[in-house]
Chain A
Amino acid sequence: MKKPLAALILFYCLGIILGRLILINFWVIMFVGAVVFIVAGIFKENNYIFPVLVLFLTLLVGVGSLRNSYLLPGCHISKFVYYQDDSLYSLSGFVDSVMEVKSDHTEFIFRVREIQAKQLKWHCCGKILVKSGNTFELNYGDNLLLIGRLSRPYSFGMIGRSYKDFLARQGIYLVMSISDFRQIIRLPGNSGSNLIKFSFNLRARLEKIISRSFDGLSGGILAAMVLGQKRNVPWLVNNYMVRSGTVHILVVSGFNVGIVAFMVNLLFKIFRLPHKIRIILTIICLFIYCLITGSSNPVVRATVMGVIFLSAYLLKRDPDIYNSLSLAALFILAINPRQLFDIGFQLSFISVLAIVYLYPKLKCLIHLQDCKLKIVKFAAEGFLVSLSAWFGTFGIIAFNFHIVAPITVLANIFIVPLATVITLCGFTLVISGLLCPSLASLFSLPISLLINLLLSLNAAIIRIPFAYFYL
């Protein structure tokens, strides 16, 4: 088997899907697994039966891990609250995220340690989402006592795609609404991880550099492209990008992780650091960048793949793209199997898989290697990469967003190179802003011009007849 991890992850994913479709008791799965394990032990010398049994065992692990993920620990906060509960609760714990400013409210994730209701106090665990119409000055790690009512999120929408399911995938089952600042009492001390604290502080500093250098619109778009912070991207811009199929440039993905790895490596090279130390430091920087951008699925995927590729250079081994992609999927799904049903996860992995698989085949099909003109070759390569990604993802996009945008292929040929230059310049700006703030303001004008060009180009592209249609 040339790509053992790819086969294993495929069966693990099939197991997760099976676990979703069929209601099987967890211990039945364990029993079947034990029997298959013993049979596999007996047939371990048989080259035909043994791999089949191993794949079947992987499938059972997938089913089991999904069923297990539905079970919450006994101390989980959601077990203390009834379905329609109007009681007033006091919760102590710490802020586990940064304050997210939405259009009409602010919200943050709160990790609970103790819950008190009607003079009774229990130790508990788990996270809740806190929503408020007011803005509070809260930072990651702040110890708080919250007083309020807890409710379960409503389950509007299709099963698996509702807001309730979206929160459940993040391990959140309860929401607290805060309307008065007196409902929040600060407790002494600070909790949380120092590394995450450092990452959030660094992100705040970088965001400040961007907001200092740009007006609202350009700054919002650059913050989304470089730091993955989409809150200042106007709804209409996002919608226009969805229509042209280029919204992926507003999300931090493998492309950004690649740029970070390239820039950091180059920076350390300039400082004449030895090869091994350079790679180790680049891996550390990738981890920090992953934390800064909020550890979304595409970033975790790209970070794991980046780490595998860099480690392969370190160990002088040839990295295999399918195995590294599988390991990245395994890394995410082992922590939370329900991420398989997340649209971001599906789009991220399927687009990479489609590019890796289809692009070389399409390239051979049109004999692109024989082309002598460099510009034609470059444009054709861009077209084929875009076409491969579109083939892979249009089904998921049509099913989830009810939009089909054939213009995507053409739009990406122009928008992606432009977005690459903007992202590269954006990283240059934030790094120069940290080292020499006056340089940042000088760099901001060409970036703003490029962003203007990108938005105008995108607006022109979606005006082409039959560029997109809603289903």
Chain B
Amino acid sequence: MFNLTGEEKKVILFLLFLAFCGLALSNLIKINNRIEKLIYPQVQLAKVDLNKVDLEQLTELKCISAKLASRIIEYRNSIQKFSNLEELMDVRGVGKKNFQKIKALFFIE
């Protein structure tokens, strides 16, 4: 009826498949909120939990020196846990400029 070529049929099928997947996922999110976790990448995949990270993991982050990493852990032990990221500036060696650089690495749950 439409006189479509093979490639056009493939394109249409691909677009329809994508749209159907989109619709199905959008519907699933509305039904069950937990599906959202499956669709959107979790913050743990891109950032480190500042209250759970250990010294080894922190040292592995190449943009933090070993000395600074141990200071951060020491400070966390002394205050039990960080309540916000700005508290990092209380650690010796983390100035305003340094904080701007490293804050993107961490999150607090």
Contact = CB atoms under 8 A, between A and B. Distances in A.
Interface of A: 103-104, 215, 217-218, 234-237, 239, 266, 269-270, 425, 428, 439, 441-446, 448-449, 451-452, 455-456, 459
Contacts of B101: 103-104
19 contacts: A104-B97, A104-B101, A218-B40, A218-B41, A234-B104, A234-B105, A235-B63, A236-B48, A266-B11, A269-B8, A428-B18, A439-B19, A446-B18, A446-B25, A449-B25, A449-B38, A451-B41, A455-B45, A456-B45
A456 B39 CA distance: 11
A interface SS class:
helix
Contacts of A443: 18-19, 22
B65 interface: no
A371 B72 CA distance: 56
Contacts of A236: 46-48, 61, 105
Task: Point out which of B26, B40, B47 has the most chain A C-beta atoms below 10 A from its C-beta.
Answer: B40
The 10 closest A-B CB pairs, nearest first, are A442-B22, A446-B21, A445-B25, A234-B46, A104-B100, A452-B41, A455-B45, A449-B39, A445-B22, A217-B41
Interface residues of B, number: 32
Nearest to B106: A236
Contact of B40 (A215, A234, A442): A215
B54 to A, nearest CB: 15
Nearest to B26: A445
Nearest to A236: B46
A441 B25 CA distance: 12
Given A445-B29, A448-B41, 15 more contacts: A217-B40, A217-B41, A236-B48, A266-B11, A439-B19, A441-B22, A443-B19, A445-B22, A445-B25, A445-B26, A449-B38, A449-B39, A451-B41, A452-B39, A456-B45
A39 B19 CA distance: 68
A428 B15 contact: yes
A104 B101 CA distance: 6
Contact of B7 (A269, A442, A449): A269
Task: Point out which of B23, B26, B41, B63 has the most chain A C-beta atoms below 10 A from its C-beta.
Answer: B41
Contacts of B61: 236, 239
B62 interface: yes
